[in-house]
Amino acid sequence: MKVLITGGGGFLGHRLAQAIAARGALAGPDGREHAVTAIRLLDTAFPPGAESRFDCVAGDLSAPGVIERVLERDTGAVFHLAAVVSGGAEADFDLGMRVNLDGTRALLEACRRLAGPPRFVFASSVAAFGGDLPPVLDDTTTPNPQTSYGMQKVVGEYLVTEFSRRGFIDGRSLRLPTIVVRPGKPNLAASSFASGIIREPLNGEPSALPVPDTTGIWLLSPGRVIEAFIHAHELASAAWGVNRVVNLPGISVTVREMLAALARIAGPAVAARVTYQPDERIQRIVKTWPAAFRTDRALALGFRADAGIEDVIREYIRDQGLAVQG
Ligand SMILES: NC(=O)c1ccc[n+]([C@@H]2O[C@H](COP(=O)([O-])OP(=O)(O)OC[C@H]3O[C@@H](n4cnc5c(N)ncnc54)[C@H](O)[C@@H]3O)[C@@H](O)[C@H]2O)c1
């Protein structure tokens, strides 16, 4: 079976490609497991080594003709992760609309022309929520995004649900928590600091905290979210029913708790590399995001969260092969 991952050169898309390759099989549109015969990645750029392992196509999802070029008629699984991330879509309204909204619709339209409706997994976000929120959100909380990015994700969810109802795709949208710890360099996501305050100190570098340390974050590790993408794909259509969107499980922690866990694992001198440097632009965006959820539906569907923030930090240290003396 052929698999397409948009955003396949990105942080999560590339890991997902590696995980699918290691698994070797996915459920096809008929519900039975099929050997994965090709994994195609669409992105504007790829990390070193990707091109030798995967079928990488460099291109802009929102440019005319690109989707038609990458989506083969017998593609059975589409994972749609390409996006202009939160800070980027807020800084450039037109770019966010073109890629996150028009690009998503164009991809869905192209799926209608495939041999059969593919399973379609869409990376949405808890940025779907905002405004006056209860302290703990649940499966009944109404999305009310307060950023362009959040709005584009919610419209994408509605499109995925509608295209599924029509039988054009078999869609599933996952509202991702903030994924921590992201390796590499800071990115344009307003939540970038949530990884930076762990990653930079562990690399011996200073890190600027743009929000107060009382700020709560709803987070999940890269390992658990990759499991979630595959689990979402593998669940039978009937398990989703008419509700094609789910809030993924996560853990709720404050920045202060994250830094305390870092100090326990790597020592107080490492955690002290983080200093508060308020940034009003980031604070305005982050304060609209929810920090705690009850995710009964996701848990009933078999999704799972990390055990705690220490496990999340230890996973990063292990993945990166860092030597840490606590
Ligand atoms: N990482 C998180 O904390 C988080 C949280 C919530 C939701 N998400 C969503 O998960 C998905 C993956 O996130 P990520 O952390 O891997 O981000 P990422 O920025 O590393 O990956 C997104 C990829 O999309 C690509 N892309 C952007 N515009 C494109 C275009 N026009 N054509 C083709 N490719 C394009 C980028 O080059 C990038 O490689 C995104 O949709 C994001 O909105 C991520």
Domain residue limits at 49: 2-176+221-247
C-alpha distances in angstroms, 64 versus 52, 59, 67?
A: 27, 10, 8
- Cβ(60) to ligand 1 under 6 A? yes
Nearest to 77 by CA among 160, 7, 2: 2
Contact present, 209 and 215 (Cβ < 8 Å): no
User: Once rounded to an integer, what is the mean pLDDT over residues 216-243?
Assistant: 97
Residue 29: closest CA among 168, 165, 229, 157: 168
| Mean pLDDT, the chain, whole residue set | 95
Asked whether the beta carbons of 183 and 47 are under 8 A apart, the reply is no
Mean predicted confidence (pLDDT) in 8-23: 97
Nearest to 138 by CA among 150, 129, 125: 129
Judgement on whether residues 159 and 52 belong to the same structural domain of the protein = yes
Strand pairing class (170-176; 119-125): parallel
DSSP 3-state assignment of 282? helix
pLDDT at site 29:
78
Distance 67 CA to ligand 1 centre (A): 17
Q: At 268, which CATH number?
A: 3.90.25.10
Instruction: Indicate whether 103 and 29 sit together in one domain.
Output: yes
Q: Tell me: pLDDT of 325 over 70.
A: no
Other CB atoms within 10 Å distance of the CB of residue 163 = 21
Structure confidence by residue, pLDDT tens digits, 36-68 = 999 999 999 999 999 999 999 999 999 999 999
Question: Does residue 301 belong to any structural domain of this protein?
Answer: no
For ligand 1, is residue 16 a contact (CB within 6 Å)?
no
| Amino acid occupying residue 138 | D
82 lines ligand 1 (CB under 6 A): yes
CA of 86 to the centre of ligand 1 (A): 10
My answer on whether 60 and 206 are in the same domain is no
Quote the pTM value: 0.97
In angstroms, the CA 181 to CA 195 distance is 5
Q: What are the CA-CA distances from residue 140 to residues 25, 51, 160, 172, 245 (Å)?
A: 34, 42, 19, 17, 11
Atom of ligand 1 nearest to the CA of 10: 39
